[in-house]
Structure 1
Amino acid sequence: MPLEPEQQPNSSLPFATSLQLAVGQASEKGRKSQNEDAIGIRIPSGVSLMTKGIVSVISDGVSTAEGGAQASAISVSNFLADYYSTPESWSVQTSSAKVLTALNRWLYGLGQDYRDARRGFVCTFSALVFKSCTVHMLHVGDSRIYRFRRGELTQLSHDHSTKINASHQYLTRALGMDVKLDVDYKALSVEQDDLYLLTTDGIHDQFTEFELQQKLTTFCQLHPQLSDSLCEQFCQLLISKAYDLGSKDNLSAQLLFVEQLPKQAIDDVYLSLSQRPFPPPLSVGMKLDGYTVTHIIHQSQRSQVYRVVNGQDQAFCMKTPSVNYIDDAAYIERFMLESWIGQRINSTHVVKVVEQHKPKSALYYLTEYLSGVSLAQWLVQHKRAPVEEVLLLLKQIELGVRAFHRRETLHQDLKPDNIFITRDGVVKIIDFGSCFIKGVAEISTPLTRDHILGTADYTAPEVILGYQADGRADLFSLAVIAYEMLTGELPFNAKLAKCNTRQAFLRLEYVNAHQLNPMVPTWIDAALKKALNNEPNLRQADTCELIHQLTTASANQRPQHFVPFMSRNPVRFWQITSIVLFLALMTSLLV
């Protein structure tokens, strides 16, 4: 399969795109009647080079499966296409896992069309994804991935096969073999001048690891700086030598040489980030790029938000960075990422970032203009709102949070000030300033980024303590908001913001919401208490489960209907009734 370059528009992301590889590959059928191997390399440009990386894939169709050749071809071509179709905010591991799971089920389903299991669609799969300064390895089967660094060869993959005897072995794992797929995944740091070699068993079965190391050493000594053509030449040499040694299988190899990594000095990064000037503080009546300021909505030390209208009298919100941070590269990077992630989240319950079709003269971005109140204002106006009304609002907030999580993005600053309720009753999350984007976090940068960006009263303990956070951190924040909406008070007697050690968090005591608002049912209290646990693994699995528990009474907490004693135990009822009547009759006779 030929190399597939990709043309994309220039990225607005503030990262270096200087990752460069020299690559080569070759595949031949050898002594077999057809070539059941498949190979492919995709080198994108622009934004995809940063967010998705360079991908190399090799696959060997299982000979005993009649659909082996088709399986390998499908796995390579579809992975190269589908991986680049996943959201840019997703991490390499998430993107590849989603694609491989779908591929495996497809191949397994194709194999089930035959009565004879040996006629299935089964193949090995090995891939490398070079993203920024990291290489991500995906592997299942007995194709191999090697790394050659400073004269030493290391096998990175593990063969998923079992030997029966000296001449026979069988695969224990492969694509299409089972409905459930277990793929080896590793993320390894990359160094300049690294070499990565991918081979099918038709080649590596003919050489010892030492022999492969010697061949690479000799070749690198003859060619200190490798090019695409030289990498391909080495692959052809391996194929020819393996064939001469008597290989009876298909022969495929790929060689990738790391020419340049995207490392920049801090001055270079700042120069890239500061290409657009900061706009000055604006006042009512001033114009910027054809937008006229009509109101100043918000001003703080970190940013300004204005209501603006264009020439067609359409209203928008304009957010501009604060000139206080004009020399802060990390701040500028985060501000640019706000609009980037906002454009990639499409939800009724997340404010929409407006795409502009004309060049900007300064650093700012636009969102839709919303008419209504913030949740913070709503809380002031609704000290004891009905539980049903609170739950309806919480459901909408959760849908917005879920939209972030589906893009593998944590909001990290959920609080009433960042949630808006329109006049139509639609709830929208309106801020992206503290988001953690998993796919972007994999891109290296010399900048020192802030890790704690949220508001302490609403931030999960693991974030404050500097641990790795996931979606359950936003779940914790959502539970704090729910507690405040139901009771008018912050949980833990508002002591959460004062905690900065594990011991301090452990000393917090949950105050039942029912004590502050008797209208809160016990099952809601139980759900909130669980969501506000210090340990993330003791909370609900996700925000969807939290909302389900808040809105659904459990069996042991649901009010029970009264069942008369006569219906529950009629024999005992009539026995007791007879005794009472007998005693009453005897008493009347004695009197």
Structure 2
Amino acid sequence: MNAPQPAMDKQIHPQGKFKLSVGQHSVAGRKAQNEDAIGIRIPDGNLLSTKGAAAVIADGVSAAEAGKEASHTCVSSFLSDYFSTPETWSVKQSGAQVLTALNRWLYSRGRGFNDNSKGYITTMSTVIFKSHTAHIFHVGDSRIYRLREGTLEQLTTDHSTPVSQDHAYLARAMGLDVRLDVDYQTAPLQSEDIFLQTTDGVHDVLGPHAIQHILEAPGITLDKRCEQLVEVALHKGSTDNLSCQLLRVDELPDAQVDDVLNQFSQLQFPPLLEPGMSLDGYRIMRELQGGTRSHLYQVEDMASGAHYCMKTPSANFARDPVYIDRFVLESWIGSRINSPYVVKVVEPHRPKSCLYYLTEYVQGMTLSQWMREHPKPAVEEAVFLIDQIARGIRALHRRETLHQNIKPDNILIDGNGQVKIMDFSACHMAGIAETATPAQGNLTPGSASYFAPEYTLHKTTNYRADLFSLAVISYEMFTGQLPFGGVLEHCKSQRDFLATSYTHSYKLNPLVPHWIDCALKKALRFEEERRHGDVAEFVYELQHPNPRYLEYHQRPLMERDPLKAWKIIAGILALSQAASLILLLR
């Protein structure tokens, strides 16, 4: 009879000598639903060296209306977005910016509730293993412990204030306030270190000695130890959801792995590329666009034959750290947008030898070219394209990102009529802006002919700025001309803008219905609060006649435009008096 085999932990060692064993467990306990969320991600290849391995635990606040959605969003989004941050960013910078963006999203969603404490609120604790260091991000009252050489140490501090013997309230949490205060610390790693993450359903009823006793139990897997922690906590009367994670460092990578990290943070600018040259396994087919700030090439993957666009920085800025940071940030922002109406940033399959990024290659034409070929298109065809552009803008806005450079040259149309927005160089991301990234503070929006007046007047901008740009493009598509006689780029002050005159689109193109012109005029208001609420509302009014606009044009001229009516009356009276005078003189 064979002897029983010892239980084995799930060992993960995707690169070199770096070996981890992991386990986790989560149950609803005595509650109707489980508002906890847990997740572990250990990537393969260079990503393990540049970003590390991450474990996240979150406990949705039961008193909040959307605690479960908040906790699950935090875990899934962090494990996705953190590993999409630029390789040149530190763990602290990457984690802080992702957490800030997440908090802004949760807080904005929670503003729909009358009581701020009833929104999308959750605790969140994260440990990231990178090289020989553990990086810890913590907000709320979940906990992270470390067991080393027989000593269990609590590494985090609970952000809660007791109000009685049995109750406490959270002083800090994700989604609780627009400003996020996260505890960040680092701890050196040693082989055989065990890290434990728990929600309060476990550690509120289990003391340190009971926890350590289970962690040191011989002959059982980390998964089984997690299950035992939960079972014992339930037996001791826990009334909350119960979740825990265990990560054991079985073997650390060689110290030389830090050299790889330095290499990524000091990537050189590529040379000026020409057709026929190759870079990191990509053959340069042709230059698509060249300028003083960047270069864009069509390239072919020499291994797969797939075609991509490669964007490289300009050598003019090789010594400009703000430009370099902005260029790296540009690719990361693009990688977070997943929409068929936005050009997709592609993750390269091979290590980079220099600074660049790849996007999908779209075979077609820009909207500028399309408008030259279709100077006055059918209204339905223009609305069809405008709707697609708006969908792309909405995808950016859902990620709290302003494009800030919506113009015809940055909109591609493929052979099937599919629209794709490109160029993330001017994008403004709310969450990243809060962390005071230097690159965010030096942004210049796009072409003055298309951007909203609030940029020129240095006012606060929001999503309606992109709406204004879309309205300018829409007007141009319908009429073949820019609104306000094309003078917006020359306006430098409030007085300049007020001196402009709007020309009705149906006067330049009689096929444009009056109600569409009303929608255009509203979206082109210089005061952003007088525009539509968002691009979706604007497009809806292009597709569905607004009864108010129809009623407006059916009202007498004296009600619609009293000044114009009186001018006409005065003109008629003047003519009649002149005619009477002529008759008298005869």
TM-score normalised to structure 1 length = 0.57
| 3-state SS, counterpart of residue 508 of structure 1 | coil
Q: Distance in 1 between matches of 2:411 and 2:460?
A: 25
1:96 lines up with 2:87 in the alignment: no
Aligned partners of 2:342 and 2:421 also within 8 Å: yes
Aligned partners of 1:42 and 1:55 also within 8 Å: yes
Residues 188, 339 of structure 1: CA spacing in aligned structure 2 closer, same or farther, 3 A cutoff? closer
1:279 lines up with 2:270 in the alignment: yes
Superposed displacement of residue 337, structure 1: 2.1
1:505 lines up with 2:497 in the alignment: yes
Q: Distance in 2 between matches of 1:513 and 1:548?
A: 18
Aligned partners of 2:293 and 2:313 also within 8 Å: yes
Residues 372, 56 of structure 1: CA spacing in aligned structure 2 closer, same or farther, 3 A cutoff? closer
| 3-state SS, counterpart of residue 341 of structure 1 | helix
1:347 lines up with 2:357 in the alignment: no
Superposed displacement of residue 186, structure 1: 4.7
Superposed displacement of residue 531, structure 1: 0.5
Q: Structure 1, residues 197-216: CA drift from partner, whole Å, max 9, x if none?
A: xx99xx9xxxxxxxxxxxxx
Superposed displacement of residue 450, structure 1: 1.6
Aligned amino acid, residue 351 of structure 2: P
Match of 1:324 among 316, 320, 332: 316
Match of 1:406 among 391, 398, 403: 398
Aligned amino acid, residue 283 of structure 1: E
Aligned partners of 2:450 and 2:472 also within 8 Å: yes
Match for residue 467 of structure 1?
Answer: 459
Match for residue 147 of structure 1?
Answer: none
Residues 340, 445 of structure 1: CA spacing in aligned structure 2 closer, same or farther, 3 A cutoff? closer
Match for residue 394 of structure 1?
Answer: 386
Q: Distance in 2 between matches of 1:58 and 1:302?
A: 45
1:301-380 superposed matches below 5 A: 301-311=292-302, 312-380=304-372
Residues 387, 58 of structure 1: CA spacing in aligned structure 2 closer, same or farther, 3 A cutoff? closer
Structure 2, unpaired ranges of 5+: 1-11, 16-30, 82-97, 128-134, 142-158, 186-199, 212-237, 241-261, 553-586
Match for residue 435 of structure 1?
Answer: 427
1:484 lines up with 2:479 in the alignment: no
Q: Distance in 2 between matches of 1:422 and 1:296?
A: 19
Residues 382, 335 of structure 1: CA spacing in aligned structure 2 closer, same or farther, 3 A cutoff? same
Q: Distance in 1 between matches of 2:326 and 2:14?
A: 21
Q: Distance in 2 between matches of 1:125 and 1:295?
A: 50
Superposed displacement of residue 440, structure 1: 2.4
Match for residue 544 of structure 1?
Answer: 536
**How large is the Cα RMSD of the aligned pairs?**
5.4
Match for residue 75 of structure 2?
Answer: 84
Superposed displacement of residue 289, structure 1: 1.1
Match for residue 546 of structure 2?
Answer: 554
Aligned partners of 2:406 and 2:470 also within 8 Å: yes
Aligned partners of 1:487 and 1:516 also within 8 Å: yes
Match for residue 107 of structure 1?
Answer: none
Aligned partners of 2:298 and 2:308 also within 8 Å: yes
Residues 508, 39 of structure 1: CA spacing in aligned structure 2 closer, same or farther, 3 A cutoff? same
Residues 58, 308 of structure 1: CA spacing in aligned structure 2 closer, same or farther, 3 A cutoff? closer
Aligned partners of 2:375 and 2:480 also within 8 Å: yes
Superposed displacement of residue 451, structure 1: 3.2
| 3-state SS, counterpart of residue 496 of structure 2 | helix
Aligned partners of 1:330 and 1:449 also within 8 Å: no
| 3-state SS, counterpart of residue 385 of structure 1 | coil
Aligned amino acid, residue 106 of structure 2: S
Superposed displacement of residue 301, structure 1: 0.5
Residues 538, 361 of structure 1: CA spacing in aligned structure 2 closer, same or farther, 3 A cutoff? same
Match for residue 515 of structure 2?
Answer: 523
Residues 314, 555 of structure 1: CA spacing in aligned structure 2 closer, same or farther, 3 A cutoff? same
Structure 1, unpaired ranges of 5+: 1-6, 11-33, 62-70, 105-121, 139-154, 160-168, 174-182, 194-198, 204-228, 233-248, 252-270, 561-591
Aligned partners of 2:389 and 2:419 also within 8 Å: yes
Q: Distance in 1 between matches of 2:551 and 2:111?
A: 44
Superposed displacement of residue 84, structure 1: 2.4
Q: Distance in 1 between matches of 2:109 and 2:14?
A: 24
Superposed displacement of residue 299, structure 1: 0.4
Superposed displacement of residue 275, structure 1: 1.4
Residues 129, 512 of structure 1: CA spacing in aligned structure 2 closer, same or farther, 3 A cutoff? farther
Residues 440, 123 of structure 1: CA spacing in aligned structure 2 closer, same or farther, 3 A cutoff? closer
Aligned partners of 2:290 and 2:296 also within 8 Å: yes
Q: Structure 1, residues 428-484: CA drift from partner, whole Å, max 9, x if none?
A: 112111111223223344557323231111111222333332211111100000011
1:6-85 superposed matches below 5 A: 75=67, 79-85=70-76
Q: Distance in 1 between matches of 2:496 and 2:111?
A: 43
Residues 446, 367 of structure 1: CA spacing in aligned structure 2 closer, same or farther, 3 A cutoff? closer
Superposed displacement of residue 504, structure 1: 2.5
Aligned partners of 1:83 and 1:99 also within 8 Å: no
Aligned amino acid, residue 92 of structure 1: L
Aligned amino acid, residue 306 of structure 1: Y
| 3-state SS, counterpart of residue 477 of structure 2 | helix
Q: Distance in 1 between matches of 2:484 and 2:162?
A: 50
Superposed displacement of residue 424, structure 1: 1.7
Aligned partners of 1:42 and 1:80 also within 8 Å: no
Q: Structure 1, residues 249-279: CA drift from partner, whole Å, max 9, x if none?
A: 999xxxxxxxxxxxxxxxxxxx898511111
Aligned partners of 1:527 and 1:549 also within 8 Å: yes
Superposed displacement of residue 322, structure 1: 0.6
Q: Distance in 2 between matches of 1:442 and 1:93?
A: 11
Superposed displacement of residue 318, structure 1: 1.2
TM-score normalised to structure 2 length = 0.57
Aligned amino acid, residue 313 of structure 1: G
Superposed displacement of residue 188, structure 1: 6.1
Match for residue 289 of structure 1?
Answer: 280
Aligned amino acid, residue 285 of structure 1: G
Aligned amino acid, residue 292 of structure 1: R
Q: Distance in 2 between matches of 1:75 and 1:137?
A: 13
Aligned partners of 2:365 and 2:413 also within 8 Å: yes
| 3-state SS, counterpart of residue 84 of structure 1 | helix
Question: What is the total number of aligned residue pairs between the two structures?
Answer: 415
Q: Structure 1, residues 462-521: CA drift from partner, whole Å, max 9, x if none?
A: 223333322111111000000111111111111111223233333332221112112111
Match of 1:385 among 377, 385, 397: 377
Residues 404, 537 of structure 1: CA spacing in aligned structure 2 closer, same or farther, 3 A cutoff? same
Aligned partners of 2:107 and 2:176 also within 8 Å: no
Q: Distance in 2 between matches of 1:325 and 1:307?
A: 22
Q: Distance in 1 between matches of 2:286 and 2:348?
A: 21
1:458 lines up with 2:468 in the alignment: no
Aligned amino acid, residue 371 of structure 1: Q
Superposed displacement of residue 420, structure 1: 0.9
Deviates more, 1:494-503 or 1:314-323: 494-503
Match for residue 206 of structure 1?
Answer: none
Aligned amino acid, residue 527 of structure 1: A
Residues 130, 497 of structure 1: CA spacing in aligned structure 2 closer, same or farther, 3 A cutoff? farther
Superposed displacement of residue 407, structure 1: 1.6
Q: Distance in 2 between matches of 1:506 and 1:303?
A: 36
Q: Distance in 2 between matches of 1:528 and 1:381?
A: 23
